[in-house]
Amino acid sequence: MTEQLYRADAYLRDCAANVLAVNERGGIVLDRTVFYASAGGQPGDKGALEIEGGGVCPIATTVYDADRATIVHVALEGSALPSAGQAVRAVLDWDTRAKLMRMHTCLHLLCALVKFPVTGGQVGVEEGRLDFDIEDASAVDKDRLTADLNALVAANHPVGERWITDAELEANPGLVRTMAVKPPMGSGRVRLVVIGEGGAIDLQPCGGTHVKGTGEIGRVAVTRIEKKGKLNRRIRVAFA
Ligand SMILES: [Zn+2]
């Protein structure tokens, strides 16, 4: 299991690590990492591994191995790979990650404003989207949502976290807003994201990376509300 340093501090931009294994497809496993592995609609991180003694291995993306605990850094095709046992410095493409953190946190605000079940979502660098089960489309308005999102951003609500046990989550199924994304259970405990005092704005299981205050998101705009099937409405948000 890879030690996931971003879980404790999403603002870490690099770390020293040792290469545990390298597979034939350019997948590199480290003992610890600041790279977020693709999950829950947030893409895996890009960046580079600076190899001790010289050489840089660019990382195109980061994914979980089949065990959902080991993180695999996927080297850009054709790159010179480090070897097992080598020391490296894992360095994030921070510009990209910072935008993903801002957009990911913004989608929590959208989820808090639109009180319908979430059926899917995707976080991007310029744009993010959430799909909701909404029967009556008049329940959501683009301009109204944009104003409400920006009010939550301007208020700079604190964003924190709290850990609960799997049993506590099972006893409180109302905490789970997203049907499409199973909460990261199995390790015995689950991390909740807490937005606003005591989770007044949002409180739900999430393993992603967030900014520390909603003010860091910056101004945003709901760009489109699309009909995707009888019940499904897709709401797109972009940085303004
Ligand atoms: Zn989250």
CA of 187 to the centre of ligand 1 (A): 18
CA of 85 to the centre of ligand 1 (A): 34
Q: What is the pLDDT of residue 178?
A: 62
Query: What confidence category does residue 197 fall into, taking pLDDT thresholds of 50, 70 and 90?
Result: very high
Read off the pLDDT of residues 26-36 as tens digits, 9 standing for 90 and up.
Answer: 999 999 999 99
Read off the pLDDT of residues 137-191 as tens digits, 9 standing for 90 and up.
Answer: 788 999 999 999 999 999 999 999 999 888 888 888 777 766 555 566 667 888 8
- 20 half-sphere exposure, CB direction, 13 A CA radius: 13
CA of 5 to the centre of ligand 1 (A): 16
- The C-alpha R_g of the chain, in whole angstroms, comes to 19
CA of 76 to the centre of ligand 1 (A): 27
Q: What is the pLDDT of residue 74?
A: 98
Question: Mean pLDDT across the stretch 197-215?
Answer: 93
CA of 161 to the centre of ligand 1 (A): 10
CA of 181 to the centre of ligand 1 (A): 11
Read off the pLDDT of residues 69-89 as tens digits, 9 standing for 90 and up.
Answer: 899 999 999 999 999 999 999
CA of 196 to the centre of ligand 1 (A): 14
The crossing angle, in degrees rounded to 10, of helices 142-154 and 94-113 is 120
- 18 half-sphere exposure, CB direction, 13 A CA radius: 4
Q: What is the pLDDT of residue 186?
A: 63
For residue 178, give both structure tokens.
Answer: 């997203």
